[in-house]
Structure 1
Amino acid sequence: MNVLIVAALTFICKALPYTHPPIERTEMTYIHSQITTPRRSRQLPAPVPDWSKLSRGDLVKVFCRDGGTLLGHIDMIALDRSVFWIIQNDGNGRVLVCGADMPHVVAAS
């Protein structure tokens, strides 16, 4: 019985021509013509405070913009002097001080 069904389906499939549905032709738009490159801003980055005289082991006092103060020794300082870590004297661990936050840093004695 299965052989008869397969034979019948094969005959029907060969007898009926299969045609693809018509392909619609559309104009292509190129997206690269719509992409624009971002313009660079003419604004310069904020100046980094002059921490060039600071070095590892210095005792500093940091006045933060939120009104808080930190007192401690510089543990590590970036080569460009834009950030440094201090180990606080009050036992609260290390804190990263970033020049972009515009803190006021003074050498403590």
Structure 2
Amino acid sequence: MYNQNNSCKCSGVSSNEHMIIKKMLKNIDHCMDAKLEHLEEKIEDIKEMIEYLCEELEELEPRLKKHIDSVYQDYDEDDENEHEEDNEECSDCHSCQ
């Protein structure tokens, strides 16, 4: 892109235009570096948030398990009661005896 005199050898591009393009590319590069740095900071923030949420979940897990077990126990009891009610209804019926 440059000849020995350090001037642009691109056809149809003046050295002034070349300098403008070079400055624009330098600005774009600087902007991309800044955006990359910003994204890296955001990724670190997300990692910290995930760690925090994992810690919170570990603290909640025993309580959640206890609650879930309680709900299943209630469900099992309700199911058992329904079964007993079904049996009572069936004993009143003469067709299944």
Give your verdict on TM over 0.5: no
Highest RCO, 1 vs 2 (Cα 8 Å, sep ≥ 6): 1
- Decide which structure has greater helix share: 2
TM-score after normalising by structure 2: 0.32
